[in-house]
Amino acid sequence: MKSFARKTVWVTGAGRGIGRAVSLAFARAGARLVLTSRTPSELAAAAGEARAAGAGVIAAELDVRDLPGTRTLLSTAVKRFGGIDVLVNNASVLGPLSPLVEVGVADWEEVLAINLSAVFRLTREVLAASMLPRKRGCVINLSSSVGRKGRALWGPYAVSKFGLEGMTQVWAEECAASGVRFYAVNPNATRTRMRAEAYPEEDPAALKSPDSVAKALVALADAKCKAPSGAAVELDRETGCLKW
pLDDT for 97? 97
pLDDT for 226? 94
**Which residue ranges form the domains of the chain, and what is each CATH number?**
8-243 (3.40.50.720)
Residue 137 has pLDDT above 70, yes or no: yes
The pLDDT tens digits of the residues spanning 29-45 come to 999 999 999 999 999 99
The pLDDT tens digits of the residues spanning 151-175 come to 999 999 999 999 999 999 999 999 9
Among 115, 107, 213, which residue's Cα sits nearest to residue 158? 115
Residue 96 has pLDDT above 60, yes or no: yes
The pLDDT tens digits of the residues spanning 222-234 come to 999 999 999 999 9
pLDDT for 121? 98
Count Cα neighbours of 228 within 13 Å in the Cβ-side half-sphere. 7
- Give backbone dihedrals phi and psi of 114, rounded to 5 degrees, phi first: -80, -45
Among 141, 18, 128, 138, which residue's Cα sits nearest to residue 70? 128
In the predicted model, what is the mean pLDDT of residues 80-107?
98
pLDDT for 237? 74
Active site residues: 157
What gap in Å lies between CA 239 and CA 186, rounded to an integer? 14
Residue 1 has pLDDT above 60, yes or no: no
Whether pTM exceeds 0.75: yes
In the predicted model, what is the mean pLDDT of residues 18-28?
98
* Sheet of strand 137-142, all strands in order from the earlier edge strand to the far edge: 57-61, 32-37, 8-11, 86-89, 137-142, 180-186, 232-235, 242-243
